[in-house]
A and B are shown apart, each in its own frame.
Chain A
Amino acid sequence: MLLYTNAPRLLSKFLSSTPPNRLVRCLSTIHENYDVVIVGGGPAGLALACALGSKSELQNVLKIALVEAGELSRVHNWSSPNGSFSNRVVSLTNASQAFLKDTGSWDYVELERTAPVKEMQVWDGVSDARITFSTSELGLSSTGQSGMARLIETLNLQRGLLRHLHAMPTVQIIDKSRVQSITSDETPGSWPMVHLDTGRILNARLLIGADGPNSPVRSFANIPSYGWSYDTQAIVCTMDHPPKGPFLGPNTTAYQRFLPTGPIAFLPISATASSLVWSTKPALAAALKACKPSVLARMINAAFRLPDVSVGYIHNRILEAHEAGKPLTEEEINAEILWREQSHSINQTSAYSSMVPEASIESRIPPSDVELVPPVVTSIQPGTVASFPLRYNHTETYVGEGQGSRTVLVGDAAHTIHPLAGQGLNLGLGDVECLSRCITEAVMRGGDIGAYTCLLPYTQERYLENHKIMSACDKLHKIYSTSFGPLVQLRSVGLEVLNELDSIKAAIMMSAGSVSRKNNRVLSYNSDARTTMFNVAAKGVESMNTAAHVARVVRDGLTGLAADTLQTVAKAANSYHQARKDVP
């Protein structure tokens, strides 16, 4: 029915009247009609295909195809020995997990290779002001497997989704096919035609761009986007470290330190392995990548531990050595770090010491500050060091119009974000959940799923939601990328105050999706999540003790701020006088 019904007749006509070489050309340009064509086999595209393919309402109603340039069988057959992990790890919020469970894809994910995040330690690299998030504070059950989020290798997730797709016959996977061009007729409302490099042409009632930051679908739909690239590269790798000692909890705490050059994050993926996401200046990133893995491990340990001034110093050493073409050896960097530690009088037994603990002292009673910093990294898993540039990008709309109508964007094709809060894929999965709901709703009401009216609720629901989180992450990055005294004071006070306010912390975590939303209707807010949120908020207000503490923190902070400002003014005045004196 959806294929042109007269194709066989046309074919037989050609068979009798055309020479073979022309026949091949004609054969290769048969248009295939699909209701949904998803371009891009990344996590977002695959999740969308799974969501649509698993909806009982859509069985035998929609003809769906997923187009991917790469070879998906590689992902499908991906496996990795125990203990070694791929360098691309994402954090899935509870909301995202709940969505994947609903569609049934979660059953195909290898759970043993994932790890829950039950606590988060985030601190200011300059002032050491700290905020902690923990599952128990948020009224989530701290027992059991779940935390506020779960870390999973992107490949593990993609493989799970692919396995799920293979288990359902409704979605046709067209891989090893690059989109060459997308065209459309002049007539308004006509279906976009996706030309593949294999010669196939797919006509799409609805063309979904899940094709990443350089989306061909977006350029076809002529959807403008705005954004900027951060002067930042993110280094990723998988780090090995000893398991936590017998007096400590499991490796389920994520750490993030905001250095003025960018945040460095430690994401636990198993008892002895964790993933690194280190955003930093491109020159430094290049230098660090060029280092030996053992040197990089030292640098990571130091970056979580040393005071900012020393971190800056050893970064300069690395940079100079890199520019001079003589990279530092492990002994040299060790000596540097040791010297800096001594000058800051960091005790060798303290958790802030970057020295690799000897095996003999591992079973001793840990230092009291051991929870404040991640475990000491002993080595980097070979071949896992990589880096990529960071960008902020948001399209002006998600739905194409005019010549580019019948198109819609999801995931990175619509928005790219700084990874500091680990929200990129979660936003994408939020898009996917909403769009699949929108499509189902439209199909149930006989709508044309490519029509603007049918897709409008998707933009309405997702755009603001995404924008909120995206700009929050952007502002965070900007606030923390300075070491200007008064601003450091201000943000530190802010953070400490925040740390005391359970209610606001809870609200932050809610909006970051740590509570799954059961959202069955288009444009409806979930009451469950709201109730939990207000409960926690109410609890926070109850405690007057907290309020007193907050007042103290604010007072101290403001005093510090005033002193700091005066100091800055004094310094400025001093240097001004100095300058005047210097002038003869």
Chain B
Amino acid sequence: MFPTRLLRSTTVNANEIAHFSKLSAEWWNERGEFSFLHKMNPVRMQFIREKLLETAYDEQPEEAVDAKKVGILEGLDVLDVGCGGGLLSESLARVGARTTGIDASESNISIAQHHASLDPRLASNLTYKHAPAESLLTQSKRYDVVCSMEVLEHVDNPSMFLKTCAELLKPSGHLFLSTISRTPLSYFLTIFMAEKVLREVADGTHTYSKYLKPSELLEFFQLYRSSLPSSVNGDSVQTQSRPWITRLYSGEPTRKEAEVRGMIYNPLSASWVIAPRGAWGAAECNYLFWVRKPALNDTL
């Protein structure tokens, strides 16, 4: 565990870490506590993949993009914040990303490391680190893609956490989040049903008041401007980028700036699906969020 001094300066919640450390041995049991996450993983990867492909199609001539290529993330630096047992990190590394997984729980990291060592494919481009996200800010390394899946609802100070994630990105980098919205439906499904009635998820995993609505995330990035290195603009007048989301159209961001997609669990096929864009009520419970850091010259 971290010294308390360090804890205070981070968004890590000590109780949450204790909770997940207790469960860490369960991470790779696909039929156990985390089976929902295992089933969610392909969908998250699909979202990441499709979003990266979409931006590639926007920026490159069509024939230069190979939609069937497995290694869509080949050579990109990817950070997985709150990697847990490494479910997402392993998948990212397998499609070619140079992946770093960090988690505030030491036992999670050792589980993740142990599991990755079973797969000879992962040795070359997957590393784990026991560290809170804030500690990476002191280093100069920045990432092409930062993912933080099902973490936001467990952190103490979400806006500070989002700022940290945002600052760890290179310009034009992608931030992927997935979390749970704060609605009666999400309370019913993720806490009442999942934890209390069906007991699929350990009691106390979720705290309703920590859930964030998609509109709140959008609002945050409408206001958020990343700081630019002063050397880029020699006259040092412009020190901040444009807001990450410049405008909303009836509550929806533009396709090139950000996206919210609902994720729905189908109990019959025991799998998650990504709801179509703008599907009514789809983002009332679990949702995926993507936002892109403005490019260096994109100061608006």
Question: What is A's interface to B at a CB cutoff of 8 Å?
Answer: 1-2, 4, 33, 56-58, 61, 187-191, 205, 401, 441-448, 451-454, 456-457, 460, 523
Contacts and interface: CB of A to CB of B under 8 A. Distances in A.
14 contacts: A1-B121, A58-B70, A189-B28, A189-B118, A191-B118, A443-B70, A444-B70, A445-B46, A446-B45, A446-B90, A447-B45, A447-B91, A452-B30, A452-B31
B42 A57 contact: no
Interface of B: 28-31, 35, 38-39, 41-42, 45-46, 49, 68-70, 90-95, 115, 118-121, 124, 269-271
A58 B69 CA distance: 9
Most buried by B among A2, A205, A453: A453
B46 A457 contact: no
Nearest to B28: A189
Contacts of A1: 120-121, 124
- Nearest 5 CB-CB pairings of A with B: A446-B91, A445-B45, A446-B94, A446-B95, A452-B30
A187 B92 CA distance: 24
A470 B68 CA distance: 36
A403 to B, nearest CB: 14
Contacts of B269: 457, 460, 523
Most buried by B among A442, A446, A447: A446
Contact of A453 (B41, B68, B70, B92): B41
Contacts of A441: 42
Nearest to B268: A460
A56 B68 contact: yes
A401 B124 contact: no
Nearest to A522: B271
Contacts of B70: 57-58, 61, 443-444
A189 B111 CA distance: 13
B243 to A, nearest CB: 32
Contacts, number: 74
A441 B46 CA distance: 10
A33 B30 CA distance: 23
Given A446-B91, A448-B90, A457-B271, A187 B41 contact: no
B52 to A, nearest CB: 12
B119 A448 contact: yes
Contact of B120 (A4, A189, A444, A453): A4
Contacts of B39: 453, 456
A452 B32 CA distance: 12
B42 A442 contact: yes
Nearest to B69: A57
A323 B28 CA distance: 63
Given A4-B120, A57-B70, A453 B30 contact: yes
A191 B120 CA distance: 11
A444 B96 CA distance: 11
A104 to B, nearest CB: 16
A57 B92 contact: no
A217 to B, nearest CB: 20
A57 B91 contact: no
Nearest to A3: B120
Nearest to A61: B70
A33 B119 CA distance: 10
Nearest to B124: A1
A17 to B, nearest CB: 26
B30 A451 contact: yes
Contact of A189 (B42, B49, B115, B271): B115
B118 A445 contact: no
B36 to A, nearest CB: 11
B45 A456 contact: no
A4 B119 CA distance: 11
A427 B190 CA distance: 39
A456 B118 contact: no
A456 B272 CA distance: 13
Given A453-B42, A457-B271, A448 B31 contact: no
Nearest to A450: B119
Contacts of A453: 30, 35, 38-39, 41-42
Nearest to A33: B120
Contacts of A188: 28-29
A2 B94 contact: no
Contacts of A457: 269, 271
Contacts of A33: 120
Which of A58, A61, A443 is the most central at the interface, judged by chain B CB atoms within 10 Å of its CB? Answer: A61
Nearest to B273: A523
Contacts of A401: 31
A448 B92 CA distance: 11
B103 to A, nearest CB: 19
B49 A190 contact: no
B39 to A, nearest CB: 6
B191 to A, nearest CB: 24
A33 to B, nearest CB: 6
B99 to A, nearest CB: 10
A447 B41 CA distance: 8
Nearest to A190: B118
Contact of B92 (A2, A205, A446): A446
